[in-house]
Amino acid sequence: MYNIAIDGPVGSGKSTLAKMLAKRLDFHFLDTGALYRGMACYFRYKNIVEINENSINSIIDEITVKVKFIDNVQHVIVSGIDFTSNLREEEISMLSSKISNYPQIRDKILDIQRDFAKEYDCVLEGRDIGTVVLPNADLKIYLTANEKTRAQRRYEQDKLKNPNISYQEILKDLKERDFENEHRKIAPLRPAEDSVIIDNSDINLEQTCDLCENIFKQKIANK
């Protein structure tokens, strides 16, 4: 199976790129952030919003995570509850970032991600795909863009759902999440040594996707 790993910070465009690239190559696509988001929804559902070692341990054994594809939409089912419609809520963004610092949480979904990659030609998108989940991926992309560009993109997206949201709020949230993701002890966000680093601040999605597709095809041709 061919596996492509795409990692990068919030708002770098990983998810849109991963979907587009998967479509062009006729590969499957897995949004791994959605798995952390699903677990965060379960924490909130159980009224656990104070995240620490004790609160994680109090609930971890009852958590089961499943991924299902229904009409091409990735659904995340945690302990029997389908949280798909809540995954993108702002509160869940922050909560998922917090719980993702804990190894108990990361271990829960490691095998789901690896099994998916064994079963399908696929593009996996996340934070630690190239460094931890799929160290032998055929291509590892680390996608980034400058802070302001990323915040602006998030702002354009989020204001459609929430017209009261401000750019400054998004920038602040993005900096916080960057810090959390880059400084956690386990699986911190960083480029894998053998990744191709792409800064897409000044190129559009189509151009970014062309670039990745060409690099992938060259890699495969040279194998």
- Interface residue list for ligand DC (CB under 6 A): 10, 32-33, 36-37, 96-97, 100, 126-129, 177, 181
Using DSSP's 3-state secondary structure scheme, residue 126 falls into: strand
Between 97 and 200, CB nearer to ligand DC? 97
79: left (phi > 0), else alpha (psi -120 to 50), else beta?
A: left
* Residue 161 Cβ vs ligand DC, minimum distance, rounded to whole Å: 15
Q: How far is CA 123 from each of CA 144, 188, 204, rounded to the nearest angstrom?
A: 17, 20, 19
* Residue 108 Cβ vs ligand DC, minimum distance, rounded to whole Å: 12
CA distance 191 to 222: 23
The structure tokens listed for 180 are 């959390």
* Residue 179 Cβ vs ligand DC, minimum distance, rounded to whole Å: 11
Between 127 and 150, CB nearer to ligand DC? 127
Between 115 and 218, CB nearer to ligand DC? 115
Using DSSP's 3-state secondary structure scheme, residue 73 falls into: strand
* Residue 170 Cβ vs ligand DC, minimum distance, rounded to whole Å: 13
Between 20 and 129, CB nearer to ligand DC? 129
CB of 42 closer than 8 Å to CB of 182: no
CB of 163 closer than 8 Å to CB of 176: no
Sign of CA dihedral 134, 135, 139, 140: positive
CA distance 198 to 107: 29
* Residue 208 Cβ vs ligand DC, minimum distance, rounded to whole Å: 17
Between 68 and 88, CB nearer to ligand DC? 88
* Residue 76 Cβ vs ligand DC, minimum distance, rounded to whole Å: 11
Between 180 and 199, CB nearer to ligand DC? 180
